[in-house]
Amino acid sequence: MTDTAALLAAVPGLARHLRPATLLHPYAVPGGAPADPAASRIGGPAEWPPGEPWPHCTARHPEEEDVLPRRAPEPPTAATALVPLARIRAEDAPHLPRPPGTDLLQVLWCPNDHDDIQGERYYYGPAVELHWQRAADLAPATPPPPRLSAPEYLPRPCAVRPEHLLDLPDRDELPEELVRAVAEFAEQQGLEYERDLGRADGWKLGGWPSWHCTDLIPIDCHCGARMRLLLTVESGEDPDLSLGRHGELHVFVCPVDPAHPVGLDIQG
Ligand SMILES: [Zn+2]
Ligand SMILES: [Zn+2]
- Ligand 2 centre to CA of 128 (Å) is 16
Lowest mean pLDDT of 2-6, 29-33, 75-79, name the range.
Answer: 75-79
Q: Do the beta carbons of residue 244 and residue 123 sit within 8 Å?
A: no
Task: Please tell me the number of the ligand nearest to residue 220's CA.
Answer: 2
Amino acid at 26: P
5's enclosing H/E stretch is: helix 3-10
Residue 118: pLDDT band (50, 70, 90) is confident
- Ligand 1 centre to CA of 54 (Å) is 14
Q: What is the pLDDT of residue 76?
A: 55
Q: Tell me the pLDDT of the chain averaged across its residues.
A: 92
Q: What is the pLDDT of residue 258?
A: 87
- Ligand 2 centre to CA of 18 (Å) is 23
Task: Please tell me the number of the ligand nearest to residue 56's CA.
Answer: 1
Residue 69: pLDDT band (50, 70, 90) is low
121 vs 181: which has the higher pLDDT: 181
Chain-centre distance for alpha carbon 139: 24
Q: What is the pLDDT of residue 260?
A: 92
Average pLDDT of the residues in 138-165: 96
Q: What is the pLDDT of residue 71?
A: 56
* Residue 110: pLDDT over 80: yes
- Ligand 1 centre to CA of 127 (Å) is 6
Average pLDDT of the residues in 202-215: 94
Q: What is the pLDDT of residue 65?
A: 72
- Ligand 2 centre to CA of 249 (Å) is 20
Task: Please tell me the number of the ligand nearest to residue 78's CA.
Answer: 1
Task: Please tell me the number of the ligand nearest to residue 258's CA.
Answer: 2
* Residue 167: pLDDT over 80: yes
- Ligand 2 centre to CA of 119 (Å) is 15
Q: What is the pLDDT of residue 194?
A: 87
Q: Do the beta carbons of residue 42 and residue 86 sit within 8 Å?
A: yes
- Ligand 2 centre to CA of 253 (Å) is 8
Between CA 45 and CA 192 the distance in angstroms is 41
Average pLDDT of the residues in 17-23: 98
Give the number of C-alpha atoms closer than 13 A to the C-alpha of residue 115, restricted to the C-beta side: 5
- Ligand 1 centre to CA of 138 (Å) is 24
- Ligand 1 centre to CA of 95 (Å) is 29
* Residue 210: pLDDT over 80: yes
- Ligand 2 centre to CA of 229 (Å) is 13
Q: Do the beta carbons of residue 17 and residue 135 sit within 8 Å?
A: no
- DSSP characters for 216-262? ----B-TTSPBPEEEEEEE-BTTTTB--TTT-EEEEEE-SS-TTSPP
Q: What is the pLDDT of residue 33?
A: 75
Average pLDDT of the residues in 104-109: 98
- Of all residues in the chain, the percent with pLDDT exceeding 90 is 79
